[in-house]
Amino acid sequence: MLKLLKRLWFIMKTPSSAAFGFVLFLGFAGGIIFWGGFNTGMEATNTEEFCSGCHAPIVKEIQETIHYSNRSGVRAICSDCHVPHNWTDKIVRKVQASKELVAFAMGTISTQEKFEERRAYLANREWHRMKANNSQECRNCHEFDFMDFSEQRALSVKQHSTALASGDKTCVDCHKGIAHQLPDMQGVEGW
């Protein structure tokens, strides 16, 4: 092992005898393979199939909601709402998610009963996360600046133009359980 490392270091130290263009090409090709591979791997962990590997019951729940089935056929998948789109935030979330692999190994939510028991905890965690980042994942699609108030219900207009516009409230403060079954809402603000 040490011998191998030494040889590697030696190769790295000596100037290459290959043509400059060739070395450059190798660099580019390597970059494409590694960076592309990394991103493809990351994309793979963002698919519905991957999520449902552990969260199967929750994936079923979304099917009757407007984020899954609606008149125009635009839809959101798990990662659209639960994984930040911004690259750095995404990496941070993905690293945090390594903890969830442990939960998977331990079978923390491996049955419907275990999952129901943990629903309140899981929901609370997501509500807090979205509250903290000002519901960024909602806003990736639902941009406040482009909302047509004349198309909204009177009450929605009232609340969006006051509490939401001033930043007092963020989307998830009112819009809970829009894509999932709710946990026990006793004591939750507004319920």
Any idea which residue has 């999952």 for tokens?
Answer: 115
Residue nearer to another protein on the CB measure, 16 or 96: 96
CB of 16 to another protein, least distance (A): 26
Count the site residues for another protein by CB under 8 A. Answer: 26
Distance CA 173, CA 130 (A): 9
Interface segment toward another protein; rule CB under 8 A; list 14-22, 78-86, 129-137, 180-188: 180-188
Residue nearer to another protein on the CB measure, 90 or 120: 120
Is residue 179 left, alpha or beta, with left meaning phi > 0 and alpha meaning psi from -120 to 50?
alpha
Q: Does 46 bind another protein (CB under 8 A)?
A: no
Residue 133 CA: distances (Å) to CA of 29, 50, 83, 99, 158: 37, 25, 12, 21, 23
Q: Does 50 bind another protein (CB under 8 A)?
A: yes
Count of C-beta atoms within a 10 Å radius of residue 32 = 10
Q: Does 111 bind another protein (CB under 8 A)?
A: no
Site for another protein in 160-179 (CB under 8 A): 177-178
Phi (first) and psi of residue 166, to 5 degrees: -80, -10
Residue 24 CA: distances (Å) to CA of 18, 32, 33: 10, 12, 14
**Residue (of 72, 67, 70) closest to 177 by Cα position:** 67
Binding mask of the shown chain, residues 59 to 78, with x at each position contacting another protein by CB under 8 A: x---xxxx------------
Among 20, 49, 74, 168, binds another protein (CB under 8 A): 49
Q: Does 141 bind another protein (CB under 8 A)?
A: no
Residue nearer to another protein on the CB measure, 84 or 183: 183
Given the rule CB under 8 A, which residues bind another protein?
Answer: 1, 48-50, 52-54, 56, 59, 63-66, 153-155, 158, 177-178, 181-185, 190-191
